[in-house]
Structure 1
Amino acid sequence: MVTLVRGAEICAPERLGQQDILIEGQQIAHIGDISAEAVRNLPDAHVVDARGLTATPGFIDPHVHIAGGGGEGGYANRTPEIRVGDIVAAGVTTVIGCLGTDGVTRSHADLLAKARGLEAEGVSTFIYTGSYQVPARTLTGSVVDDLVLIDKVIGVGEVAISDRRSFQPTVEALADLVSQSHVGGLLSGKAGITHFHVGPHSARLAPLHRLLDEYPIAPQSVYATHVTRSPELLADAVDLAAKGATVDMTAGSTTAESVRRYVDLGGDLSRLTLSSDANGSLPEFDDRGRLIGMEVATQTTLYEQVWACAEALDIDLSQAVSLVTSNTADALGLGHKGRIRAGCDADILLTDDQHAIQIAFARGREVIRDGEPQIRGTFE
């Protein structure tokens, strides 16, 4: 299948101006001005007129409870699995699935099966082994083995720190876990990242600072999320990113303001990503730790906040888009994702002046046409 996208304004995420994009199969084959004669030599090509539209890479969401999450309020509070139609409608073409608080009734077998199902339905998927718990629950009995033997496992997560729901691991235990993930990554050619859930406790990121200061840990192996819970935590995240770790903001109504504060504090934008926490629970606890309310996160918020960052901040569109594309791909070792360039997967969003997705491709397949998702899950 050959597709020619004509005349889009490309934000790759760096700005490339108005150019054509040639897609062959699942990959981008060429970017540039393609002559009318060359088009005539592609008689079977599907030609898409993208003049007046902006092309960006499809979004990478590094923190999604694809098989559901929650459970903090008991069995009836388990959240549902995500649907592929909801994923692509939010501009996401790659998801990284994780377990959270519940690593008992939510299994890695479920997580892996759901990831394979979503990929069969049309989006790219990867997963973390482990959960909040330390020592980590795994598929094979070993973090290293999971990374080496299971293609979709790219790291460990989400491991909870500074939270009442954490298993309160020692820094030594965290060093052991991060090292296992790192070595598994080395042996399998993967990122070997450890993704940390950071709770609201006043310890904040202190365990991760100690991890990097006291142990021979590669800083790029550390990836901390939920860093906007307080101004103090955000400032701590700036310091952690300065050491070479990656930090992640869970998209919410004030994400653009949080990114602004991060920049004002001297934060390195190349070490920052955004995620949705989609289909995870958003529990609310009182001062005594009792659950008093719960909502379910969606990926729609992530899409909205990327454009809010581009409009509200003194940063270029390319920098806003990088928070969900190239930055995330670099952090997760996904060299074939997150950019519009030859050799990368053809994950492309074409948006209008109102930032609505008119057309989208996931690995070369048209998954949105005229603003409407073209793929649905088996039971949607």
Structure 2
Amino acid sequence: MSQITLIKNAEVFAPRSLGRCDVLVAGDRVAKIDQHLTLPESVGQVVDADGAWLMPGLVDTLVHISGGGGEGGFGSRTPELDVRDAIAAGVTTVVGALGTDATTRTLNELFGKAKALEAQGITCFMQTGSYQVPVNTLTGSVRSDIMLVDNIIGVGELAISDHRSSHPSRDELIRIAADARVAGLLSGKGGVISVHVGDGSGRLQPLFDVVEHSEIPISQFYPTHMNRNTSLLEHGVEFARAGGFIDFTTSTTEEILASGEMRASQALAMALEQGAPVDQLTFSSDAQGSLTNFCDLGELRDMEVGAIASLFDEFRSAVQREKVEIPRALQVVTSNPARALGLKRKGQVAAGRDADLILVDPQRFQITHVMAKGRWQLFDRQPQTAERSD
């Protein structure tokens, strides 16, 4: 029998504000949103939200779920994601990717970890490839990976304008994007290229060049780390105004901020002031990635590990410190990233969408409940079913 849950008296942000509503969940989908809904006696579970904010589960489009290779040597390799950390942070959908190290961190490991997270209760997709070109794949080609592997939705994290990248040519970028685009069209997936952008002087120019010299639409590229510095942010605003999505990284350190990076919440406010469409802006955590601080000579100064909790923290900061309205800030961590990667059932509270929901205490601005795929994973701040991975 399908699990049925009725959540009553919630202030629903879908992410747009729907006011005080009841939300009916049947199985793994939202069935109905309305006022004064009821269930027959002894059928399902009724939860009184008592005015708590009900929101979509957060969608995190860049997580190094299987851990990453640290740029400080083998001793600085980062750990893989623990599912309970994602749940506590309100993240119900993650997209796993490799980064700098695609030699000792492999797509096989990434695939296995993605399936493990699915079994532990959340939704997990993955990208084929890594920083490097030629793109490493599971099946021998980008097109086959996207078309034949159920949870592979695109390519990433492909690096440009960074001393750690392969410095791909325009033609190489065009060929990769074309293969991913056709595969996405044929399989009903996004087929998007998630792009790591470093602090090199080229900024986003390689992507603009591809769009100018090919038929590849700007939406085929999804650049991240756009809050590295004000110059990159300004280039990103131009990219967003041209119709592309841009992403701000929520994990950071005080040392990196001191070198010129902006907090994601601050970058969001600045981008909006500069005329970037809010519908084209997203946050991702870069969780489990190595947060590196290099000196001008390219030598590593220090390194920490990205945290998935930073995604909700920066959403909250955007509302509280930067005074961005809740629906606008919320879409940056829910519906916008889902649209950017073509995740059609994610990122919204609506009938027929996946029942990925969080309840937030409006007084403390803290997550109290998390539902993923129709099942409570966190209830009144208490973990329900997820087990910590070793």
Relative to the length of structure 2, the TM-score reads: 0.94
For 1:257 and 1:144, how far apart are their aligned partners in 2? 38
State whether residues 84 and 388 of structure 2, in contact with CA within 8 Å, keep that contact through their aligned partners in structure 1: no
Q: Give the structure 1 partner of residue 383 of structure 2.
A: 373
For 2:101 and 2:70, how far apart are their aligned partners in 1? 7
For 1:312 and 1:270, how far apart are their aligned partners in 2? 21
Q: Give the structure 1 partner of residue 16 of structure 2.
A: 14
Report Cα offsets for 1:126-172 as digits up to 9, x if no partner.
00000000110000010000000001000000000000000011111
State whether residues 251 and 287 of structure 2, in contact with CA within 8 Å, keep that contact through their aligned partners in structure 1: no
Deviation >4 Å, runs of 4+: none
Q: Give the structure 2 partner of residue 315 of structure 1.
A: 324
Q: What's the offset of the Cα at 1:314?
A: 4.4
Identity %: 42
State whether residues 147 and 183 of structure 2, in contact with CA within 8 Å, keep that contact through their aligned partners in structure 1: yes
For 2:296 and 2:324, how far apart are their aligned partners in 1? 38
SS of the residue corresponding to residue 21 of structure 2 reads: strand
Q: Are 1:68 and 2:67 matched, yes or no?
A: yes
* Letter aligned with residue 279 of structure 2: S
Q: What's the offset of the Cα at 1:302?
A: 1.2
For 1:172 and 1:287, how far apart are their aligned partners in 2? 30
State whether residues 348 and 361 of structure 1, in contact with CA within 8 Å, keep that contact through their aligned partners in structure 2: yes
Distance 1:51 1:189, change over 3 A: same
For 1:95 and 1:379, how far apart are their aligned partners in 2? 16
Q: Give the structure 2 partner of residue 77 of structure 1.
A: 76
* Letter aligned with residue 32 of structure 2: H
For 2:115 and 2:281, how far apart are their aligned partners in 1? 28
SS of the residue corresponding to residue 231 of structure 2 reads: helix
Q: What's the offset of the Cα at 1:252?
A: 4.4
Relative to the length of structure 1, the TM-score reads: 0.97
Q: Give the structure 2 partner of residue 279 of structure 1.
A: 288
For 1:231 and 1:344, how far apart are their aligned partners in 2? 37
Q: Give the structure 2 partner of residue 3 of structure 1.
A: 5
State whether residues 162 and 199 of structure 2, in contact with CA within 8 Å, keep that contact through their aligned partners in structure 1: yes
Q: Which ranges of structure 1 fall in alignment gaps of 5 or more residues?
A: none
For 1:173 and 1:166, how far apart are their aligned partners in 2? 13
1:327-366 → structure 2 map (5 Å cutoff): 327-353=336-362, 354-366=364-376
Q: Give the structure 1 partner of residue 46 of structure 2.
A: 47
* Letter aligned with residue 382 of structure 2: E
Report Cα offsets for 1:208-253 as digits up to 9, x if no partner.
1111111111221110000111111000001111222110000146
* Letter aligned with residue 332 of structure 1: L
Q: Give the structure 2 partner of residue 233 of structure 1.
A: 232
1:126-141 → structure 2 map (5 Å cutoff): 126-141=125-140
Q: What's the offset of the Cα at 1:42?
A: 5.0
State whether residues 142 and 179 of structure 2, in contact with CA within 8 Å, keep that contact through their aligned partners in structure 1: yes
Report Cα offsets for 1:177-236 as digits up to 9, x if no partner.
111111110110000000000001111111011111111112211100001111110000
State whether residues 83 and 389 of structure 2, in contact with CA within 8 Å, keep that contact through their aligned partners in structure 1: no
